Amino acid sequence: MNEQITVRVGQPYFSDSDISEIESGVSRVLRSGWLTSGQVAVDFEQKFADIIGTRYAIAVNSGTAALHTLTSALNLDRHDEVVVPANTFVATVNAVLYVRARPVLVDCHLETFNVTAENIERGITPHTKAVMVTHVGGNPCEMDDIIQLCRERDLVLIEDAAHAHGSKYRGKACGSFGFGGAFSFYPTKVITSGEGGMITTDSQRLCEYAKAFRNMGRKRVGHGPILALGQNYRMSEIHAVVGTTQLKHLREFVQKRNELSRIYDEELSRLDWLEPQVVHEHSISSRYAYIVMLSRKRRIARDSVMESLTRNGIETTVMFTPVHMQPYYKHMFTGVKCPNAELIGTAGLVLPLHVGMGVRDVESVVEALRKLE
């Protein structure tokens, strides 16, 4: 890490009491001799399901593992297609490629950065079997229209909710709308378990499948028959201890992120060359990230903005480079054009936002941006 950086773009937050609680919990796990597939993870799953409002939650070792489990459960083959946002992390697309199906990339809305039902419909063909949506930065997609489209076309809906812990669309939690939701507990996420992920669902069939899939195809822990092709995707008890402690703070973490975001919104409204991500009034974003677009009204290069902020001790990053613009995937998506995602990929910028920040940190970011006028 650059030693000159004083405001990080994102980082986990643990109070002293949290650290003490985690130390005690880890000590109990180590003394128990049961480091995986134990009661701590089971309790974490139930608490997470209660918060999201689904019947089941299944803990795995990453958000990518959660997505892969969901696509694997669909029993797709190489002739099947899944509509996926171009403006997403590659794990969303990889989960389709892992099961040898074909991802079909579609564009996003230029203000919310999310796919819409209209975008998705353009990507549907007779081979389409499922739709995956990503709640970018924790900003909920417009789910009513997407759900209606999926029902009309008999398509399975999967939510990439990696950013969306605590996000709600019209009062309903992200991760509870479709066949399954996939959450990530990577260190910079709204809450973390160090590494880890969670699948949420109301489907008993998916729950049973996921529990076997994460356990190498076994229905029970330890020796037993392999009943399906599975993966080693279990969450350790130690990671579950960290996740459980963080989960207690989810509501306050989301509230703090939104409070800081409102300050950004107010202060940046005075800068005509920045356009923050739009969150609709009927939605609650987790505000996993504060994303802005450099306006086309003024020609300010993103790299120069990032370099200037770095000189002022402020770390920034880019949310996504569209999948079809990544070197590895270019040959798969020859001819694909998603102009909004491409513009966001070249002009989008993530400003610092995390629970450890204070009002003064936000003000220092704004002050540094004003110097660029």
For each of the domains in the chain, give its residue range(s) and CATH number, in order of start: 16-247 (3.40.640.10), 250-370 (3.90.1150.10)
pLDDT tens digits, one per residue of 239-276: 999 999 999 999 999 999 999 999 999 999 999 999 99
Q: Which residues contact 173 (CB under 8 A, 6 or more apart)?
A: 51, 52, 53, 166, 167
Distances in whole angstroms, Cα of residue 283 to Cα of each of 33, 167, 169: 44, 8, 5
Residue type, 280: H
Q: pTM of the full predicted structure?
A: 0.97
3 state SS of 134: strand
Over residues 165-201, the pLDDT tens digits come to 999 999 999 999 999 999 999 999 999 999 999 999 9
Which residues does the chain have with pLDDT short of 70? 1-3
Q: By C-alpha distance, which of 182, 178, 174 is closest to 146?
A: 178
